[in-house]
């Protein structure tokens, strides 16, 4: 028997793609709970409840399609959104285990942590700051050291944004 040698890095996914699981279920898995292997690193529960499923049957590996689900990330509800069903690390949650996940889900509107407070401006990188100071001295431009700051733009309207301005 010949020795098998694997070349390349090992994959990080354990499981199947969403269509591979759903095509074997009654009603194509709509209403069932799924989790991903990559989310098992969090102490809080993370899962999807599938609400819409349109598989692309022309894909020979059954990985493509449009999948919408109610997303619960780290115990908090994030609403209904499209999910990446092609990733091969989905796992079906057994009906007996669904109660375990539901008990550990936070109530609507509650998040798993408080938003991080960040300032509206950040310091320039040190080298860029020195270059600007030298250039200003050469051109005899008067400036204040506090003017050498960059505005920090964050998206506060995203459901996954956990940052607010001070």
Q: Of 82, 81, 62, 60, give the one whose Cα is nearest residue 19.
A: 62
Pairing of strands 163-165, 116-118: parallel
158: pLDDT confidence band, cut at 50, 70 and 90? confident
| Model pLDDT for residues 90-131, shown as the tens digit of each residue | 999 999 999 999 998 888 777 777 778 888 888 889 998 889
Identify whether the C-beta of residue 152 lies closer than 8 Å to the C-beta of residue 121: yes
CA distance 127 to 145: 15
CA pair distance 8, 14, nearest whole angstrom: 17
Phi and psi dihedrals of 8, rounded to 5?
100, 180
DSSP 3-state percent helix, strand, coil across the chain (nearest 5): 25, 25, 50
Do 70 and 100 contact (CB within 8 A), yes or no?
A: no
Which residue matches tokens 């991080």?
116
CA 86, CA 96: separation in Å to the nearest integer?
26
* pTM for the full predicted model: 0.68
Q: How many CA atoms lie within 13 A of 86 on its CB side?
A: 9
Whether residue 11 has pLDDT greater than 90: no
What residues does each domain of the chain span?
18-103, 116-165
pLDDT value of position 122: 87
Q: Which two tokens stand for residue 37?
A: 């292997």
Percent of the chain past pLDDT 90, that is, above it, reads 19
pLDDT of residue 1: 61
For residue range 21-42, list pLDDT tens digits in order.
888 888 888 999 999 988 888 8
């Amino acid at each position: 028997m010949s020795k098998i040698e694997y070349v390349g890095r090992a994959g990080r996914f354990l499981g199947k793609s969403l269509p591979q699981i759903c095509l074997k279920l009654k009603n194509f898995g709509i209403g069932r709970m799924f989790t991903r292997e990559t989310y098992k690193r969090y102490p809080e529960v993370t899962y999807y409840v599938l609400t819409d499923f349109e598989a692309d049957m022309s894909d020979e590996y059954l990985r493509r399609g449009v999948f919408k689900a109610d997303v619960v990330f780290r115990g908090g509800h994030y609403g209904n959104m499209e999910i990446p069903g092609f990733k091969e690390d989905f796992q079906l949650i057994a009906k007996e285990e669904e109660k375990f996940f539901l008990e550990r889900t936070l109530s609507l509107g509650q998040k798993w942590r408080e938003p991080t407070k960040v300032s509206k401006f950040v310091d320039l990188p040190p080298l860029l700051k020195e270059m600007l100071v030298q250039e200003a001295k050469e051109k005899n431009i008067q400036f204040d050291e506090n003017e050498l700051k960059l505005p920090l733009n964050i998206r506060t309207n995203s459901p996954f944004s956990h940052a607010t301005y001070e």
